[in-house]
């Protein structure tokens, strides 16, 4: 009697696709397949590489961006970013992992992507149930750059707000709340607050007393030499000020010299993702797109800023996008959903963030009820 093996008689089980792609604005969707274990997902490219897309598996959102002929993956849980970059670019058609915060991404070069894995605090990941640990560890050493390994446990950049005003009274009202990292100014704001250049040292010192850790002042001038010289003049008055530089050719030249001298820089007057890439190439700490001004000029401001946050990882490895020209609290919420981590907002928008009728009614009720139990 012929005995058939269990493997020969087992009917193949079709896997249900568990990956859904949600294209970002103006970006085409991408077709991908996925194999999942209890602790990781392996995505396999099937088709062309997109510029950007969102991949949803179960309740986890993976933000995927095209890198030439490869992919780059970051993990999101709901709307809150959980980890920094945790996967390396891989060739089109290959597999890669988007690991959990306690894991390191390993290219699926050895065919062990479906193996169950676990990570211990004291040692590398083990492969359970398979005699492939040596192969997996060798693949990990060969195909994962040191930078990726070192950043596997990095903390995401926290959300931060700046007060967009040169009015000391506004600083005294809002800085003590602890919500704001610092103060941003420009020539228009200085004029509106009747603050002259000679008053900047006093304004700077007072904001520091109130808890501001960052203070931004914009340089000015017709050419690179003037922009650089005036920036040095500002730094003499406010030694730790971050210099705002217009994103122009002379501005780029001045910013390059400032960065070489160790001066932190924010590239301002940004209206396109291309300008943001210029800021990244210069090594600037920040780039400030003008959201509402782009909108009024007829541009798709949200899509443009989405391009910026897709092209430049908002994890501190490049310039952070500081959204400026914000006219409502809803703008803040919408841009935060696009990956923006820094906002400079006017006193009017600040008040809107702190105001809610339902919250006010609830607080009033709490106060009334508390008097009944005292």
The answer as to whether 4 is a domain residue is: no
Q: Indicate if 313 and 170 belong to the same structural domain.
A: yes
The rounded distance, in Å, linking the Cα atoms of 143 and 279 is 30
Instruction: Output the pLDDT for position 12.
Output: 52
* pLDDT on residue 137: 46
> Do 134 and 264 reside in the same domain of the chain?
no
Does 214 lie in the same domain as 114?
A: no
What pLDDT is recorded for position 33? 37
Euclidean distance between CA atoms 253 and 186, whole angstroms: 20
pLDDT of residue 11: 52
| Per-residue pLDDT at 156 | 74
The enclosing domain of 288 has a CATH number of 3.20.20.70
Q: Is the residue at 367 inside a domain?
A: no
Please tell me whether residues 93 and 165 are part of one structural domain.
no
The answer to whether residue 326 is domain-embedded is yes
CA distances from 174 to 10, 341, 363 (A): 68, 19, 20
Q: Same structural domain for residues 112 and 226?
A: no
Q: What's residue 227's pLDDT?
A: 99
Domain that holds residue 213: 160-353
Residues 132 and 281 in one domain: no
* Residues 201 and 234 reside in one and the same domain: yes
Output the six-digit token pair for 54.
Answer: 């969102």
Residue 191: enclosing H or E segment and its boundaries?
Answer: helix 187-192
On whether residue 20 sits in a domain, the answer given is yes
Domain edge (last residue) among 150, 169, 200: 150
Residue 72 sits in the same domain as residue 213: no
pLDDT of res. 150: 41
Length of the chain: 374
- Domain count of the chain? 2
Same domain, 262 and 280: yes
pLDDT of residue 10: 52
Residue ranges in the chain modelled with pLDDT below 70: 1-155
């Amino acid at each position: 009697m012929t005995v058939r093996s269990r493997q020969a008689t087992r009917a193949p089980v079709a896997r249900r696709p568990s990956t859904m792609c949600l294209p970002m604005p103006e970006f085409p969707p991408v077709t991908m397949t996925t194999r999942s274990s209890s602790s990781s997902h392996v995505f396999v490219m099937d088709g062309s590489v997109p510029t950007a897309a969102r991949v949803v598996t179960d309740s986890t959102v993976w933000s995927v961006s095209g890198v030439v002929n490869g992919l780059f993956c970051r993990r999101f849980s709901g709307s809150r970013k959980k980890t920094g970059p945790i996967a390396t670019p891989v060739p089109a058609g290959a597999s890669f992992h988007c690991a959990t915060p306690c894991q390191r991404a390993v290219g699926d070069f050895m065919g062990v992507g479906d193996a169950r894995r676990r990570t211990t605090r004291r040692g590398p990941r083990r492969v359970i149930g398979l005699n492939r640990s040596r192969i997996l560890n060798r693949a990990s050493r060969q195909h994962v750059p040191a930078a990726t390994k070192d950043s596997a446990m990095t903390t995401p950049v926290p959300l931060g707000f700046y007060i967009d005003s040169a009015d000391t009274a506004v600083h005294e009202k809002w800085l003590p709340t602890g919500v704001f990292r610092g103060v941003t100014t420009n020539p228009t704001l200085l004029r509106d607050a009747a603050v002259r250049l000679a008053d900047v040292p006093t304004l700077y010192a007072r904001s520091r007393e109130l808890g501001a850790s960052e203070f931004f002042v914009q340089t000015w001038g017709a050419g690179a030499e003037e922009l650089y010289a005036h920036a040095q003049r500002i730094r003499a008055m406010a030694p730790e000020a971050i210099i705002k530089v217009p994103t122009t050719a002379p501005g780029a030249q001045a910013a390059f010299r400032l960065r070489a001298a160790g001066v932190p820089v924010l590239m301002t007057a940004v209206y396109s993702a291309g300008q943001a890439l210029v800021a990244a190439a210069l090594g600037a700490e920040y780039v400030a797109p003008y959201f509402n001004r782009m909108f009024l000029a007829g541009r798709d401001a949200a899509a443009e800023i989405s391009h910026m946050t897709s092209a430049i990882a908002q994890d501190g490895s490049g310039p952070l996008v500081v959204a400026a020209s914000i006219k409502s609290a809803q703008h803040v919420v919408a841009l935060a959903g696009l990956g923006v981590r820094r906002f400079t907002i006017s006193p009017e928008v600040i008040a809107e963030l702190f105001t809610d009728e339902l919250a006010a009614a609830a607080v009033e009720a709490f106060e009334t009820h508390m008097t009944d139990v005292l």
